[in-house]
């Protein structure tokens, strides 16, 4: 074991015993192997654990496969970043999702065990490892993502949203009891993200000014973005009927797994700590502005929104839901109204998504929050400035600035 996994040996042994009991296995003669992912930006402590039953021979791969269970263990991160990242609330949201909502949406890893800090094991979530047992894997493209992955992600998030619409219609009280129990992690007036949004929203304009772009446009937009969080972000995230639905809330390539079946990519979503009730555009624009930042233009948006809408209507019909409220025109107009949401996220996070920040979340948490906007605004330098500036102009062409200028 590495030094990091040894630190959690006291957690893993009783946890393996608990999982063994849940799965109806004896803990006697069990061994477990631990690995820690190193290729993503994880906020919770994440372990891949392979539990081998009946101590099958180490070198016997086939016997080991038959007599083993692979799980993913998510543990609350260190106290040093819990308050900054609201990780306790994030954990509670994810547990809420698995306990109260997963019965309606099934394309997620099976939750084997989940408990909050009141347990002797502390806050922990144990999921099946769908990579080992079902052949899913993460997309290797963290940005400039190939279109087939975008299309697959949009088809599946349309299904996710459609099931929420159907649940809202057919089980209204249970649905809103669940929605009202979700804790807001990011988008409330005193959010720690306010300064980051406000401090990075105009980053693209610096580049446009250097390129001698229309001064009147730059001045007007800069003034409009002086208080981006309160004036725009909080309005973008307000739930408006009938399009409001359950959103993943952190709809990025890091939170989905893919498997090729025939000519089509299948998708499973993971990490539901930031679920929220609001416009589907919150999910769609986040994905596009982080993973297709160079490609987003009117033609591309028209195409992928059509893919999303076709999938949405198909799944609404499968659930017996009248589609009148969910026209393509309504979706298109809502994207024009809220499509800058993902752009403002990209303004501070695209550089990290593209690997320009080589630290860990713990390193970022050690920085004085007052310095976050300046750091985020500088990451990636002129390369990111140019990508953001070009994306802004393409979103303007689509109509995303019509509502704010």
- For residue range 292-345, list pLDDT tens digits in order: 999 999 999 999 999 999 999 999 999 999 999 999 999 999 999 999 999 999
Decide: 157 and 248 in contact? Cβ < 8 Å.
yes
Instruction: Confirm or reject CATH 1.10.3720 for domain 3-128, answering yes or no.
Output: no
Would you say residue 49 has pLDDT above 50? yes
The CA R_g of the chain, rounded to the nearest whole Å, is 22
pLDDT at 57: 53
pTM score, whole prediction = 0.92
At residue 51, φ and ψ (nearest 5 deg) are -95, 125
Sign of CA dihedral 206, 208, 211, 216: negative
Q: Which of the four pLDDT bands, split at 50, 70 and 90, describes residue 3?
A: very low
Tell me which CATH code domain 147-398 carries. 3.90.1200
Specify the length of the chain in residues.
405
Mean pLDDT of 123-152: 93
Q: Which of the four pLDDT bands, split at 50, 70 and 90, describes residue 23?
A: confident
pLDDT at 186: 94
Mean pLDDT of 87-114: 93
Higher pLDDT, 61 or 213: 213
Decide: 291 and 261 in contact? Cβ < 8 Å.
no
pLDDT at 378: 92
According to DSSP, the β-strands at 68-75 and 45-52 are antiparallel
Would you say residue 253 has pLDDT above 50? yes
Spatial distance between the Cα atoms of 32 and 300, rounded to a whole number of angstroms:
47
Mean pLDDT of 78-98: 80
Q: 178 CB contacts (<8 Å, ≥6 apart)? A: 96, 100, 101
- Long-range pairs for 294-297 at CB < 8 Å and ≥24 separation? 294/144, 294/387, 294/390, 294/391, 295/144, 295/147, 296/391, 296/394, 296/395, 297/394, 297/397, 297/398
pLDDT at 2: 45
pLDDT at 349: 95
Average pLDDT of the chain is 89
pLDDT at 133: 79
Q: Which of the four pLDDT bands, split at 50, 70 and 90, describes residue 152?
A: very high
Q: CA triplet 104, 106, 110: central angle to 5 degrees?
A: 120
Measuring CA to CA, which residue among 395, 97, 135 is closest to residue 257? 135
Q: Which of the four pLDDT bands, split at 50, 70 and 90, describes residue 18?
A: confident
Spatial distance between the Cα atoms of 309 and 334, rounded to a whole number of angstroms:
13
Would you say residue 62 has pLDDT above 80? no
Side-chain half-sphere exposure of 11, counting CA atoms within 13 A: 22
For residue 136, CA distances in Å to 35, 128, 260, 375 come to 17, 12, 8, 35
Record the tokens describing residue 319, joined without a space.
């659930």
Would you say residue 1 has pLDDT above 60? no
Within this chain, domains 3-128 and 147-398 share the same CATH topology: no
Mean pLDDT of 342-370: 82
Max avg pLDDT among 32-36, 44-48, 142-146 = 142-146
Would you say residue 368 has pLDDT above 90? no
Measuring CA to CA, which residue among 6, 135, 125 is closest to residue 65? 135
Record the tokens describing residue 197, joined without a space.
């949004």
Q: Which of the four pLDDT bands, split at 50, 70 and 90, describes residue 30?
A: confident
pLDDT at 121: 73
Spatial distance between the Cα atoms of 64 and 210, rounded to a whole number of angstroms:
61
Decide: 393 and 385 in contact? Cβ < 8 Å.
no
pLDDT at 255: 95
Spatial distance between the Cα atoms of 49 and 32, rounded to a whole number of angstroms:
7
Domain boundaries, the chain: 3-128, 147-398
Decide: 351 and 384 in contact? Cβ < 8 Å.
yes
Measuring CA to CA, which residue among 162, 187, 168, 189 is closest to residue 249? 187
pLDDT at 33: 83
């Amino acid at each position: 074991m590495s030094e990091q996994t040894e630190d959690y040996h006291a957690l893993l042994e009783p946890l393996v015993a608990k999982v063994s009991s849940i799965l109806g296995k004896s803990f006697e003669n069990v061994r477990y192997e631990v690995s820690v992912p190193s290729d993503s930006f994880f906020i919770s402590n994440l372990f891949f654990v392979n539990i081998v039953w009946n101590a099958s021979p180490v070198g016997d791969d086939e016997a080991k496969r038959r007599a083993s269970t692979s799980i993913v263990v998510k543990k609350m991160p260190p106290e040093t970043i819990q308050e900054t990242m609201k990780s306790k609330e994030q954990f509670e949201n994810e547990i809420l999702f698995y306990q109260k909502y997963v019965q309606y949406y099934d394309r997620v890893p099976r939750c084997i065990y989940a408990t909050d800090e009141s347990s002797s094991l502390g806050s922990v979530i144990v999921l099946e490892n769908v990579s080992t047992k079902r052949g899913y894997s993460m997309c290797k493209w963290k940005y400039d993502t190939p279109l087939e992955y975008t299309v697959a992600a949009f088809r599946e998030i349309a299904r996710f949203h459609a099931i929420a619409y159907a649940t809202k219609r057919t089980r209204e009280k249970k649905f809103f009891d669940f929605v009202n129990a979700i804790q807001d992690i990011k988008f409330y007036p005193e959010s720690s993200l306010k300064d980051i949004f406000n401090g990075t929203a105009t980053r693209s304009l610096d580049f446009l000014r250097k390129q001698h772009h229309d001064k009147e446009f730059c001045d007007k937009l800069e003034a409009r973005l002086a208080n981006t969080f309160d004036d725009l972000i909080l309005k973008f995230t307000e739930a408006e009927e009938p399009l409001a639905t359950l959103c993943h809330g952190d709809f990025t390539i890091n939170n989905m797994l893919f498997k090729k079946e025939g000519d089509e990519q299948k998708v499973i979503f993971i990490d539901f700590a930031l679920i929220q009730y609001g416009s589907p555009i919150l999910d769609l624009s986040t994905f596009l502005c982080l993973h297709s930042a160079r490609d987003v233009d009117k033609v591309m948006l028209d195409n992928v929104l059509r893919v999303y809408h076709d999938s949405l209507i198909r799944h609404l019909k499968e659930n017996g839901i009248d589609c009148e409220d969910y026209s393509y025109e309504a979706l298109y107009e809502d994207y024009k109204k809220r499509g800058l949401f993902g752009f403002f996220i990209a303004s501070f996070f695209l550089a990290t998504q593209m690997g320009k920040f080589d630290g860990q979340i713990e390193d970022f948490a050690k920085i004085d929050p007052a310095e976050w906007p300046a750091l985020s605004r500088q990451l990636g330098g002129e390369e990111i400035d140019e990508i953001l500036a070009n994306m802004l102009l393409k979103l303007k062409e689509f109509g995303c600035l019509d509502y704010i200028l």
